[in-house]
Structure 1
Amino acid sequence: MELKDVQYEKANGIAKITINRPEVYNAFRARTIEELIWSFRDAWDDNRIGAVILTGAGEKAFCVGGDQKEKGDEGGYDYQGGLGGGIGLEVENLHQTIRNIPKPVIAAVNGFAIGGGHVLHVICDLTIAADTAKFGQTGPKVGSFDAGFGSAYLARIVGEKKAREIWYLCEKYSAEECKEMGLVNKVVPANELAQAAQEWAEKIVEKSPTAIKVLKLSFNADSQNIQGISQLAMSNLALFYNTAESKEGKNAFLEKRPVDFKKFRG
């Protein structure tokens, strides 16, 4: 597959996948998701690979979720390649691929991990963050949500109260704050992030691949029921994107004006 939105490289048993749209803070569009899925599946099929690093290009952002400019008039994302999960993005497929690849995935968060980008790092097995990284949700601010792994699995990591705070208030959190709540494993200076992720990946590659595979399956098994919740959530999100309420969030963001959801409370 020809990669335009993603950089993909493999060396010494480690695959590195980089979202390469720094001009839009590594926001993803349909093509980005397709390329991410292809890269993860290639790493999955390559028995020489024992660990995967996911990061973003540049210094400003890991990923800030879906590119709002790519949304069409019907509310969902413009998508020409396939089903797109009903919302124009195969994001549910990507989530499942990251979870199910029988190799640990390390998120190296180099900047903003916001919205759908925040969900990506939550789903990864491990997260190492630059001390300059910022985390948070935006869904309810822009007429969107992730009521699957992005919320239900998040609650397993940080607890119900904190997860609800993250989603209801849509505030930003520092890397150190996220480490304290168990959402980040390690915080390092920004110029040491790539090396820190590489070192952890190298340590994983030294271990028994079968043991690591079974351990990941075991960890996933306890929260696998969230997959059903995710399917329900994505179906509802596809319907929600075509409402005036959701479009108000998108339009306010694109027009750089305050959002007005009060008119939908009548």
Structure 2
Amino acid sequence: MDTVSDLFDPDAWTPVESFGFDDVTYHRAADHGTVRIAFDRPEVLNAFRPPTVDELYQALDHARQSPDVGCVLLTGNGPSKQHGKWSFSSGGDQRIRGEDGYQYEDDEGDADETQPGRLHILEVQRLIRFMPKVVVAVVPGWAVGGGHSLHVVCDLTLASAEHAKFKQTDPDVASFDGGFGSALLAQQVGQKKAREIFFLGKTYSAEEAADMGMVNEAVPHEDLEPTALDWGKTINGK
């Protein structure tokens, strides 16, 4: 099996077949009911576009309906071969954002104005929040904007002590999280701190995020996925 990420252990996972995803990878643990769903656009810091969200929803919904799956690890593959950066997700891909939303792309990779714009990441947030599985955000690098909100809605967050960075950029792009990300963030860190995160747009380290309550644990980068897999095994053993 090809290695999909520098942190990925191919001996620990088997691919979930028959989906043919382009923007997401989907694997199942070899010896227990944990699945790994990962953004696979490291060259753009795992930013998501409409087809990315389509695939993410399909994978999550498949895991939701699988009776032998108890835990979902949501992460981002990397690092980027171009600039060496790690990312969980940097949110919506701003290059294809139009007046009516994020656009699907044509064959040349340009925004396809013939299709209605949308970015249905809020549907993914809702699915994560209410699915009868434990969803763990495994953050190897940047969690920005919509990617930041996505980690917030997960049940647990495990982060790389060296590379994970957390930043809310919605005000910078004239947007605001209208889903669960903003409300749950306030529950996790308190109203004042949540407003600081949104209004000032500061960058926080994994340790700072853990101290304020939106990250459960920061671990050494090389231990990130082994620890996540151990968490999944523990959860499945309950």
TM-score with structure 1 length normalisation?
Answer: 0.73
**Partner SS state of residue 137, structure 2:** strand
Q: Post-superposition shift, 1:147? A: 3.3
Higher strand share: 2
Structure 2 residue corresponding to 1:43, chosen from 55, 63, 72: 63
Q: Post-superposition shift, 1:75? A: 4.5
The match for 1:2 is 20
Higher helix share: 1
**Partner SS state of residue 107, structure 1:** strand
Q: Post-superposition shift, 1:16? A: 0.4
| Runs (4+) off by over 6 Å | none
The match for 2:102 is 77
1:129 partner amino acid: A
Tell me which structure has the larger Cα radius of gyration.
Answer: 1
Q: Is the 8 A contact 2:149 2:181 kept in 1?
A: yes
Distance 2:93 2:222 in 1: 27
Distance 2:47 2:179 in 1: 20
Distance 1:47 1:79 in 2: 33
Instruction: Quote the sequence identity (%).
Output: 49
Task: Please tell me whether residue 67 in structure 1 is matched to residue 93 in structure 2.
Answer: yes
**Partner SS state of residue 28, structure 2:** strand
The match for 2:128 is 98
The match for 1:255 is none
The match for 2:138 is 108
The match for 1:57 is 77
The two structures, once aligned, show a CA RMSD in angstroms of: 1.3
Distance 2:40 2:139 in 1: 14
Stretches of structure 2 that go unaligned for 5 or more consecutive residues are 1-18, 80-85, 106-115
Aligned residues: 201
Q: Is the 8 A contact 1:79 1:89 kept in 2?
A: no
The match for 2:113 is none
Stretches of structure 1 that go unaligned for 5 or more consecutive residues are 81-85, 208-266
Q: Is the 8 A contact 2:122 2:179 kept in 1?
A: no
Alpha-carbon spacing, 1:87–1:137, altered in 2? closer, same or farther (3 Å): farther
Q: Post-superposition shift, 1:79? A: 3.6
The match for 2:176 is 145
